[in-house]
Amino acid sequence: MKVFTVVGARPQFIKAAVVSRAFAEHTSNIHEILVHTGQHYDANMSDVFFDELNIPHPDYNLGIGGGTHGQNTGRMLEKLEELMSKEKPDWVLVYGDTDSTLAGALAAAKLHIPVAHVEAGLRSFNRRMPEEINRIVTDHVSTLLFAPTSTALRNLKDEGFSDAKVRVVGDVMCDAAKYYGARAKIPSWFANLGFSEGQFVLCTIHRAENTDNPEKLANIFRGLEASECNVILPLHPRTKKKMEDMKLTFPRNVFVVEPVGYLEMVWLESNCDLICTDSGGVQKEAYFHGKRCVTLRDETEWVELVDGGFNTIVGDDPLMIEEALKTNTILSFDSPLYGDGESAAKMVNILVSGRYN
Of the candidates 261, 9, 303, the one whose C-alpha atom is nearest the C-alpha of residue 134 is 9
What are the pLDDT tens digits along the chain (357 aa)? Answer: 999 999 998 889 989 999 999 999 998 899 999 999 988 766 555 566 777 778 888 999 998 877 888 999 999 999 999 999 999 999 999 999 999 999 999 999 999 999 999 999 999 898 988 899 999 999 999 999 999 999 999 999 999 999 899 999 999 999 999 899 889 999 999 999 999 999 999 999 998 889 999 999 999 999 999 999 999 999 988 888 888 998 889 999 999 999 898 899 999 999 999 999 999 889 999 999 999 999 999 999 899 999 999 999 999 999 999 999 998 888 888 888 999 999 999 999 999 987 665
3-state SS assignment for residue 276: strand
- pLDDT recorded at residue 45: 54
Domain 183-326 class in CATH: alpha beta
Rounded to 10°, the helix 69-87/99-110 angle is 40
What whole-number distance in Å separates Cα of residue 283 and Cα of residue 266? 13
Question: Rounded to whole angstroms, how far apart are CA atoms 266 and 184?
Answer: 6
- Rounded to whole angstroms, how far apart are CA atoms 229 and 142? 45
Whole-number Å distance between alpha carbons of 179 and 319: 37
Q: Which run of H or of E encompasses 91? A: strand 91-95
Q: What CATH architecture applies to the domain 2-171+339-353? A: 3-Layer(aba) Sandwich (3.40)
* pLDDT of 100: 95
Q: Is the distance from CB of 1 to CB of 23 less than 8 angstroms?
A: no
* CA-to-CA dists, residue 227 to 22, 129, 254, 319, 322, angstroms: 43, 29, 11, 9, 5
Neighbours of 354 (CB within 10 A): 7
DSSP 3-state of 136: helix
Catalytic residue among 36, 40, 117, 206: 206
CA 283-132-314 angle, to 5 degrees, is 40
Separation CA 263–CA 39 (nearest Å): 22
Question: 91-95 and 60-61: which strand pairing?
Answer: unpaired
Q: What is the pLDDT of residue 95?
A: 97
Listed in order, strand segments (DSSP E) in 130-253 are 144-147, 166-168, 201-204, 231-234
DSSP 3-state assignment of 345? helix
- 117 has catalytic annotation: no
Can 2-171+339-353 and 183-326 be said to share one CATH topology?
A: yes
**Entry pTM:** 0.86
What pLDDT score was predicted for residue 42? Answer: 62
Strand, helix or coil for residue 347? helix
- The domain spans of the chain are 2-171+339-353, 183-326
Is there a contact between 295 and 278 (Cβ–Cβ < 8 Å)? yes
